Amino acid sequence: MKVVTLVPRVDSEKCTGCKTCERVCPVLAIKVSNKVSMVDEDRCRGCANCEQRCPEYAIVMVNRESPVTVKVDVDQVAYDQIAQLCKKARLNPQQLVCYCTATRAEEVAAAILLGAKSPEDVSLSTGVRTGCKVECIQPVLRLLEAAGIQPVPPKNGWQWYGRTPTVWEIPEEIKKKYSTRGFYFEEDIKLLDKLVEVGPDERRDD
């Protein structure tokens, strides 16, 4: 869930149409047309990637007149389906996948079960990947993959390139080779497996 409070303003005098903003926008809300960046304010999730990477400093973020809340209601989907998808992706439904928007795995799973087919769709509906824009791409890709979806990165974009390894996929010889150097692969697998298995009635409540 995210409350979108900002929106970009492009200074068309400074904009050179280089397309950097287009390549970094996680929801494809900014496009270059006639060599000037144009913002689709309905799609924009206020992440400021465009403003932060514009080489000409042609973009500023301003407050929206009215903040917009984006959220997927998990109650729209049977919870056992959500739990099943999260488990397949080796995530607990309750765990946070986006620290900035406090979005949990269950909301991303619900978005996918309701039809999101790509990280862009997921971000548009939940707000994930629109805070720090860095840390939450992998759980989104893992959940999409668990749903049998193989998204394709935006053409010529730099938004994302692909899913990367998880601890469960580290080859045995690597684990063995580095086990004395402070890398606790097996122990972390046990920890994460235990987390995945925590059910709604077993949550610590002290």
Partner 1 sequence: MRQPILPIAPKVSQYGIDPSLVKARAAELPGMTSLLIKDMFPDTPDVIFPAEGGLAAIRKATEEALANIDMSRIKPEHSVNILASHHGFTLLGGEPYAEMLKTIRDFVAARTGASNIRLRAGVGLRFRETEEYIKRYGLDVHFQGKAAGVAPVDQGIAIETEIGTLYGIKKVYDADWIIHAHNSDVREVHFHRQVDRAVKPFGMSYARIETRSTYHQNLGPRAANFTARAIFDSTFVQSKFAFSAFLVMSPGGVVGVDADNNLYALNDRLTYTGCRYYGKTMTLLGEIDECIAVLDFPCPVPYVFAAGVIYANFVGANTDLYDLDKPLPPYTWYTEAFYGKNGRPLLSEIPLVNPAIKMCVQNYAWGGYPSAFFAEQIPTVVVGREQAEMMNRDPQNLTYMKHSVVADTIGDAMKFAYRTAGTDKVIVFDGAMGGLNVSEKLADLLIKKAPEVNRRVEEQLLPKWLKQRGMAP
Q: Residues interacting with partner 1, by CB under 8 A?
A: 2-3, 5-6, 23-24, 46-49, 52-53, 61, 63, 92, 94-97, 99-102, 104, 130-139, 142, 158-167, 169-171, 174, 178, 180-185, 187-189, 191-192, 194-195, 198, 203-206
Q: Which is nearer to partner 1, 134 or 152 (CB)?
A: 134
User: What amino acid is encoded at 1 in this protein?
Assistant: M
Distance from the Cα of residue 94 to its chain's centroid: 16
C-beta of residue 113 within 8 angstroms of C-beta of residue 77: yes
Q: Which is nearer to partner 1, 117 or 163 (CB)?
A: 163
Minimum Å gap between C-beta 183 and partner 1 is 5
Element (H, E) at 7: strand 2-10
Burial (0-12, 13-18, 19+ Cβ within 10 Å), 55: exposed
Nearer to partner 1, 12 or 184 (CB): 184
Closest to partner 1 by CB, 34 vs 180, is 180
DSSP β-bridge partners for residue 36: 33
How many Cβ atoms are within 10 Å of 189's Cβ, its own excluded? 16
Closest CB 113 distance from partner 1, rounded Å = 19
Q: Give min distance, CB of 200 to partner 1, in A.
A: 9
Instruction: Give the contacts of 115 (CB within 8 A, at least 6 positions apart).
Output: 121
